[in-house]
A and B are shown apart, each in its own frame.
Chain A
Amino acid sequence: MQPFHVHKGKVAPLDRANVDTDQIIPKQFLKRIERTGFGEFLFYDWRRAKDGSFEPWFPLNRPQYAGASILVAGKNFGCGSSREHAVWALEDFGFRAVIAPSFADIFANNCVKNGVLAVVLAEKEVSEIIRRAAETPEYKIMIDLEQCTVRDDRGFSAEFPIDEFTRYCLLNGLDDIGLTLQHETEISAYESGHASPYASAP
């Protein structure tokens, strides 16, 4: 996976709370057996009218946000279904980070596995970024995972919390299956001390 150090990019605001993964990638697009190619279906039912045309009101369809790589949204982003396809779609569309006051647990885990940074900022800070993104043409911010900061060129600055291990994995773009397999001895020892729950089953 792609490491994340410092990323400067254009911001697209999505001023809604409780954006669920059914909205991020509707179920009709979950039938692919590949990890790729989900970007065009991102927020499909919001981005597209029933006839397939682009909805002009939706932020990601507006020219001022074209090419955005940072999505800013309301609290509890990514709630609902565990579908990792939601993160694959965001990443494939070009997003490297999502900023919100809070994230649903499974979605946040899925982000880490794909090198997408889920940045938690205070509600006030998120509102400020959304306001600036709406008012400032080509509004960009810089997310620094080394320093755990978010800044713009106009005086906005905030720090974000992130646990050390998540930060380490993202900075290094780590395959954590490889890390777990380094503990083969401990896993085998655990298994020999615990009978398989279905040992006596058919």
Chain B
Amino acid sequence: MAARTLFEKIWDEHIVCIPSGQLPLLYIDLHLVHEVTSPQAFEGLRAAGRRVRQPKQTFATVDHNVPTEPRGTPINDPIAARQIEALQKNCKEFGVPLFDMDSPDQGIVHIIGPDLGLTQPGMTIVCGDSHTSTHGAFGALAFGIGTSEVEHVLATQCLPQRRPKTMLIDVTGKLAEGVTAKDLALGIIGQIGTDGATGHVIEYAGEAARSLSMEGRLTLCNMSIEAGARAGMVAPDQTTFSYVKGRRFAPSAVDWEKAVARWSSLPSDPGARYDKVVQIDASKLAPFVTWGTNPGMVVPVSSHVPELNEMKNASDRQAAERMFEYMGLQPGTRMEQIAVDRVFIGSCTNSRLEDLRAAARVAKGHRVNPKVRAMVVPGSQAVKHAAEQEGLHRIFQEAGFEWRESGCSMCLGMNPDILQPGERCASTSNRNFEGRQGRGGRTHLVSPMMAAAAAIAGHFTDIRNWRFH
């Protein structure tokens, strides 16, 4: 058989049939569901008299709307409460397991899948959320879908899918101290653009990608959608297997050995071909900060807000002028001179234990600048619990950070955690779109260490010069 890529192996394995004149029918192993993009899908099932085909391969949680105040506080937003109630009712009616508000397993869908061992190599995974690309870190094919497709998967456990193209991003060299998976992701998007991978599934390979921890790979794959990619993946290896082993839904005993043997055959064959290949030299990357209103508008923290004549083309220049105005920035301003009002450490990009440890290491022995309000929102109840076991919450609280309950929170501001107009935020989330964190809010995307450092300094600061205690 011809040499195949990781993507091609998973794709081929999951084709149910290719009906004549139609798209290939792809089988879906795991379907994750949350409160915002599912109510209309369940309603569609109900209207058509259909059931959920595989409730045991479907898992739901509440994450987008949930307040991050202590659990048990009533939800003040009646429309959000209605959406959460709709999910509870739908899960009960259709037999779908739900990790509800009061569950120790509640959390952001893309955090709890890996946490619980639901996410495994070689799987096809979908969710009505664009950041489903996160799960590709395990060598799974994972992508976001719309609500009609959610209904399709609920009803059939399949999706008609056009076969995407493949892109290899070969990350050579090593990331320097202080340069993280988040910076790698931002560096890639800065280079290829927010539509650089549209229609493609990215496979991240090379020394720097391989040497990332699982958490780092999750961050990297998470941001694939910000480059327009259908999905992002990293081939499974010992790092992957060690992470999965022993988790609640992971294969156990005899099944484990068989699974590892199967997963070990997934990495791309030597000589496998990709539709596009991109080279990135990791050793040249710095801690990045975005300055504009899409994640491709990014510069090293040691640099400045670009001048118009540094923009690639006329349409970027035109867009940049609007961004300067929205972001309240002058071209040429040094990034380290930009003061922040808020700091958000959280989201499906950067709210795992490793992220919180990195931020806590920066915060330890320091105080949050009195002009800054900083919050830490763990990705899941399990992450929160594990962090508290290590005492991370005390480090944050002693430094003046708020330590909150798990959820999507200020990444998209569907719950009460939002920016006020004109407020500037250093955020570990994934999108700096206009109004994303609150109307008129100004978002700068950074790594967890850079966010923690900005909270303390009161402005962006180069983590490579940080005084760790």
Contact = CB atoms under 8 A, between A and B. Distances in A.
Interface of A: 16-18, 20, 22-23, 26-28, 30-35, 45, 50, 74-76, 79-85, 87, 102, 104-106, 109-110, 113-114, 163-165, 168, 176-177, 179-183, 186-187, 190-191, 194, 196-202
A84 B37 contact: yes
Contact of A33 (B54, B82, B195, B414): B82
Given A26-B439, A180-B152, A183-B25, A84 B146 contact: yes
A33 B86 contact: yes
A82 B195 contact: no
Given A20-B294, A35-B40, A165 B421 contact: no
B158 A187 contact: yes
A81 B147 CA distance: 12
Nearest to A23: B434
A32 B431 CA distance: 23
Contact of A22 (B53, B157, B225, B434): B434
A82 B130 contact: yes
Nearest to B440: A50
Interface stretch (B177-185, B247-255, B336-344, B446-454): B247-255
A200 B152 contact: no
Interface of B: 16-17, 19, 21-23, 25, 27, 29-30, 36-37, 39-40, 43, 48, 50, 53-54, 56-57, 64-65, 77, 79-80, 82-83, 86, 118, 120, 123, 128-130, 144-149, 151-152, 155-158, 160, 162, 164, 194-195, 198-199, 225, 228, 230, 248-249, 251-253, 255, 294, 315, 319, 412-414, 421, 431, 433-436, 439-440
Nearest to A105: B230
Contacts of A114: 148
Contacts of B414: 27-28, 30-31
Contacts of A83: 36-37, 146
A87 B37 CA distance: 13
Interface of B is mostly: loop
A196 B56 contact: yes
Contacts of A82: 37, 128-130, 144-146
Given A105-B230, A180-B25, A183-B19, A31 B128 contact: no
Contact of A181 (B27, B155, B248): B155
Given A30-B64, A197-B249, 20 more contacts: A22-B431, A22-B433, A22-B435, A27-B436, A31-B82, A33-B83, A35-B40, A79-B228, A81-B130, A83-B36, A83-B146, A114-B148, A165-B21, A176-B160, A180-B158, A187-B25, A187-B156, A190-B16, A196-B57, A198-B57
Contacts of B421: 50
B198 A187 contact: no
Contact of A104 (B162, B228, B252, B315): B228
